[in-house]
A = this chain, B = another copy of it.
Amino acid sequence: MSVVVVGTVALDSIYTPFGSVEEELGGSACYFSLAARLYDDVTLLAVVGSDFPDRHVECLRTRGVNLAGLQLAEGPTFRWKGSYLDDLNTAVTLDTQLNVLTQFRPHVPREFCRPDVLFLANVDPDLQLQALSQVSGACLKVADTMNYWIESKPSSLTKVFSAVDIVVINEAEAKQFTGIGNLPAAAKALLGLGMKALAIKRGEYGCALFTQTDYFVAPAYPLERVLDPTGAGDTFAGGFVGYLSRVRQLTPDSLRRAVLHGSAVASFAVEDFGVRRLLRLSVEEVVSRCRELRHFTYLEAL
């Protein structure tokens, strides 16, 4: 099986109460790939500028991420600067420089036009639609987004959500997109667009999975110290989608297990700055934490 991800690769500068980093490897497709590659082959479609450090390219390549779809454009790489100084749950964006991202036109190389799974990471929904149009076959299509696109391109986003099998978004975004403050009611409205499953990321409260017939809740892994929450949602998606790609089935049970894997991988990501923890993460560590997560809610039959 293989996963193709369309999204961003960025240079992130991050400030938290525990320290800061400058121009670290980041971006939605990057976090996703470094998580999903623990499960399956991953091909990354994104754009970087001429200033993108070779060491970051090497970093991804040596972790097995296929970079055949990484475009190199003239100009500086997309940059994001954010702070969590007051509240580790909420990023304050200090600066966004789109740079070469404004020129990005996803081009799915011919040999990847029939992937098994297509993940549309957080990026302009019009670009997500472009990528969707290039992919044929009965692949599993999954999409994420962010508040910026809900506000600026709700109609394109509705087209994306209506065209994919699974949507992975956070709780505030689900409520914002539907205009419904009650989560189960917002989830029902989203499922009404036709998707098969909806994974709602709830940060320190874990994840809730809604389908037409099932409801599942996974706790977050209890961490006494979160160093940097950047990319936790993209990492969740990487574990979630990566697991589904590996097991090659979309059943209530596989979806539930996928949520657990996403939660486990994301819990590692926030233990260090940027993608650092993901670079040294093993499948065995993830499986061990999945077992712990399962135990946190376990009860013999009532």
CB–CB B253/A300 < 8 A: yes
A296:B217 contact, CB within 8 angstroms: yes
B224 touches A185 (CB 8 A): yes
Stoichiometry, as copies per complex, reads 2
Residue-by-residue, is A225-255 near B (CB-CB < 8 Å gives 1, otherwise 0)? 1100000000000000000000000000100
Q: Is the CB of B297 within 8 A of A222?
A: no
Interface centre among A218, A260, A294, A296 (most CB of B within 10 A): A296
> Which residue of B is nearest A87, CB measured?
B181
Pick the contact of A260: B88, B205, B291, B299 (CB < 8 A). Answer: B299
- A260's closest neighbor in chain B, by CB? B299
Whether the Cβ atoms of A217 and B297 lie closer than 8 Å is yes
B-chain residues with CB within 8 Å of residue A287 when the two chains form the complex: 302
User: Is A79 an interface residue, CB under 8 A from the partner?
Assistant: no
In the bound complex, CA of A297 to CA of B297 (Å)? 6
The verdict on A184 contacting chain B, using a C-beta distance below 8 Å, is yes
B-chain residues with CB within 8 Å of residue A225 when the two chains form the complex: 182, 185
B182 touches A226 (CB 8 A): yes
A107 within 8 A of B: no
CA distance A294 to B215 in the complex (A): 11
The contact of A223 among B184, B219, B222, B296, by CB within 8 Å, is B184
B299 touches A183 (CB 8 A): no
A163 → chain B closest CB, angstroms: 26
A196 within 8 A of B: no
A225, A260, A297, A300 pick with most chain B CB within 10 angstroms? A297
Interface digits, A189-216 against B, CB 8 Å rule (1 contact, 0 not)?
0000000000000101110100000011
Grouping DSSP codes into helix (H, G, I), strand (E, B) and loop, the A interface class, with mixed when no group exceeds half, is: mixed
Say yes or no for A256: interface residue by CB 8 A criterion: yes
Nearest Cβ on chain B to A200's Cβ, whole angstroms = 11
Alpha-carbon distance between A238 and B234 when the two chains are bound, in angstroms: 40
Asked if A63 is at the interface of the complex by the 8 Å CB criterion, the answer is: no
A253 cross-chain contacts in B, Cβ below 8 A: 299-300
Q: Assess whether A302 is in contact with B297, with CB atoms less than 8 Å apart.
A: no
Min distance, Cβ A69 to any Cβ of chain B, angstroms:
33
Nearest-Cβ distance from residue A261 to partner chain B, whole angstroms: 10
Nearest-Cβ distance from residue A260 to partner chain B, whole angstroms: 7
User: Closest residue to A205 on the B side, CB-wise?
Assistant: B205
Q: Does A257 contact B (CB under 8 A)?
A: yes
Q: Please tell me if the beta carbons of A216 and B182 are within 8 angstroms of each other in the complex.
A: no
What are 13 A-B contacts defined by CB distance under 8 Å? A183-B222, A184-B224, A185-B224, A185-B225, A188-B224, A202-B205, A208-B219, A208-B222, A215-B296, A216-B297, A217-B296, A219-B297, A257-B302
